[in-house]
Chain A
Amino acid sequence: GAGVSQTPSNKVTEKGKYVELRCDPISGHTALYWYRQSLGQGPEFLIYFQGTGAADDSGLPNDRFFAVRPEGSVSTLKIQRTERGDSAVYLCASSRTGDNYGYTFGSGTRLTVV
């Protein structure tokens, strides 16, 4: 597709449930990033993939959060035992390796944990 696609656009879940958020990057982009944006804050880095491997997962807040990118394209962010504090907009971005012009973000998934 022309841009980064994220599904679903909105997700409401109950505390303690498991959720999966999907990201379809721009075709040919080898780098993929997940960020989280809480209300009134800027995007906060979670994890960065180069191809299929996680090159940097230092932003994942705890072991309830996990992300995969098995074929080097689509990525899934998985959150176990969701908590109310996980409520945020989860943003995915992709870029060509060596791109000097910043990467392209998707519109995000708004996750609400009730």
Chain B
Amino acid sequence: DQQVKQNSPSLSVQEGRISILNCDYTNSMFDYFLWYKKYPAEGPTFLISISSIKDKNEDGRFTVFLNKSAKHLSLHIVPSQPGDSAVYFCAASRNYGGSQGNLIFGKGTKLSVKP
């Protein structure tokens, strides 16, 4: 049973518009969430994270929102750029910071940003 779900396998967005990637989780013990970005033939690259004590974290064009009651988080990219085209993975951890244990990943959403 998947504990971290990304129900949209793909998303296509026009350059300059907002990209919204969604993630749902089932385990209420998760207390730290991360987004990774992956280009073909490369390993995932850390993008942004949020702890369960917050509901929003912003870093430049990237904002992550956490709704604990709904067990839902989303990644907003605005404005979207063609270089953002990649597969985005949502991940969760039961240990704050993730480095003390393993991460549970979703299946990923492939984002395509059209010029």
Residues of A bordering B, CB below 8 Å: 4, 31, 33, 35, 40-45, 48, 56, 59, 91, 93, 95-108
Contact = CB atoms under 8 A, between A and B. Distances in A.
A44 B105 contact: yes
Contacts of B89: 42-43
A98 to B, nearest CB: 6
Lowest 5 A-B CB distances belong to which pairs? A105-B43, A42-B105, A102-B46, A45-B102, A100-B97
A95 B102 CA distance: 12
Contact of A107 (B43, B91, B101, B102): B43
The A contact surface, by secondary structure, is loop
Interface residues of B, number: 26
A103 B46 contact: yes
Contact of A41 (B49, B101, B104, B107): B107
Nearest to B102: A45
B105 A43 contact: yes
B99 interface: yes
Given A56-B102, A102-B34, A102-B98, A42 B107 contact: yes
